[in-house]
């Protein structure tokens, strides 16, 4: 899913960040679809975005805009606002606006924010995770140019499109036809084999490309909580039981999938056939899981934008 900072339809809901004098003008809304209600698919009161500009004559500094449910409010202090000169300014944006800049902002160097990805999420709803996003001036095509603005009546409006920097994994888990236990899911764990590790811990996100670089890795990713798996139905349910955000990965080969259902651990291999042979930024990978008393099978994987991706089948015992 992409987020559009411009006026549009429900998928592109329009709001305005007001300005006075030569202050940077912005409009905000979303473009794309999401089936993940806890992800950021619409701005609500209290959401913040960080914005800064670079260019000749500009001193880069972050201005945090806060949504009040109707309007975006720029910083209260004039010293914290962004003002434009006649020179072209390159405009950067990131979410969440409270994220810390890694080092110092520069007119010439790479600009990044700090990110923290916990390899042990204690919910099945992404409640403890952050939907990191970065902004560009386009959301399709290639190259994704950055936005620009300068102090002319029709050039103060920076149109920003926000892109998800993470991947999201969703699990649809259905009971078999004959199953007498309650069907309580308490853990999903992804473990690397053959030297496979996951990017997790502390790192940075390049705010011009969304590239996440991690300083550490983890041999496993764990999601814990309490959720009821779907009841058996002749037409299998598509209801997502658990989900979690992960750092994009160039290969999903060598990943063991295990789940604890009704106190019993079931495990197998996560499908890694195309198009689910890698986790890409901004894509949603939905794994459909069915099981018996002795094992589970991932019968399909699909992708949405947050793109839904089909993945394949696997047995876990």
Domain regions of the chain by residue span: 2-96+132-164, 167-316
pLDDT of residue 309: 56
Strand pairing category for 220-228 and 120-121: parallel
Neighbouring-strand partners of residue 262 = none
* CATH level 2 (architecture), domain 167-316: Sandwich (2.60)
CA angle (312 as vertex; 182, 184 as ends), nearest 5: 10
For 139-161, write each residue's pLDDT tens digit.
Answer: 666 667 888 888 887 788 887 88
* Residues contacting residue 308 through CB under 8 Å, at least 6 positions apart: 35, 283, 284, 285, 286, 302
Q: Is residue 61 scored above 60 in pLDDT?
A: yes
Report, in this order, helix, strand and coil percent for the chain, each rounded to 5.
Answer: 0, 45, 50
- Mean pLDDT over 247-255 rounds to 96
| DSSP letters spanning 159-197 | -EEEEE-SEEEEEEEE--SS--S--EEEEEEEEE-TT--
Candidate from 19-28, 30-39, 195-204, 263-272 with smallest mean pLDDT = 30-39
Rounded Cα–Cα distance for residues 199 and 201 (Å)? 7
Rounded Cα–Cα distance for residues 185 and 230 (Å)? 10
pLDDT of residue 136: 85
Q: Which of 24, 22, 34 is nearest to 13 (CA)?
A: 34
Rounded Cα–Cα distance for residues 93 and 224 (Å)? 32
pLDDT of residue 13: 29
- Mean pLDDT over 78-96 rounds to 91
Tokens of 16: 């305005």
pTM check: above 0.75: yes
């Amino acid at each position: 899913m992409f987020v559009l900072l411009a006026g549009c339809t429900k998928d592109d809901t329009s709001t305005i960040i007001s300005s006075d004098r030569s202050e940077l003008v912005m409009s905000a809304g979303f473009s794309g679809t999401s089936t993940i209600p806890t992800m950021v698919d619409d701005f609500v009161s209290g959401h913040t975005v960080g914005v800064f500009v670079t260019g000749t004559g500009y001193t880069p500094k972050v201005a945090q805009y806060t949504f009040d449910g109707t309007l975006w409010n720029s910083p209260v202090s004039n010293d914290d606002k962004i003002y434009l000169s006649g020179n072209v300014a390159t405009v950067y944006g990131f979410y969440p606006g409270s994220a810390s800049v890694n080092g110092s902002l520069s007119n010439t160097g790479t600009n990044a924010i700090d990110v923290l990805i916990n390899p042990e999420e204690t919910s099945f709803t992404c409640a403890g995770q952050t939907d990191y996003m970065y902004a560009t001036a386009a959301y399709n095509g290639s190259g994704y140019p950055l936005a620009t603005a300068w102090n002319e009546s029709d050039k103060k409006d920076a149109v920003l499109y926000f892109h998800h920097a993470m991947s999201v994994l969703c699990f649809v888990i259905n009971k078999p036809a004959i199953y007498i236990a309650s069907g309580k899911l308490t853990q999903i764990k992804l473990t690397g084999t053959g030297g496979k590790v996951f990017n997790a811990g502390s790192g940075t996100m390049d705010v011009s490309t969304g590239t996440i670089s991690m300083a550490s890795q983890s041999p496993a990713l764990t999601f814990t909580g309490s959720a009821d798996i779907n009841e058996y139905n002749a037409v299998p349910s598509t209801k997502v039981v658990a989900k979690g955000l992960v750092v994009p990965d160039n290969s999903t080969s060598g990943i063991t999938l295990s789940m604890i259902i009704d106190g019993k651990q079931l495990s197998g291999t996560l499908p890694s056939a195309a198009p689910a042979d890698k986790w890409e930024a901004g894509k949603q990978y939905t794994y459909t899981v069915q099981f018996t008393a002795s094992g589970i099978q991932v019968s399909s994987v699909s992708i949405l934008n947050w793109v839904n991706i089909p993945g394949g089948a696997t047995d876990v015992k």
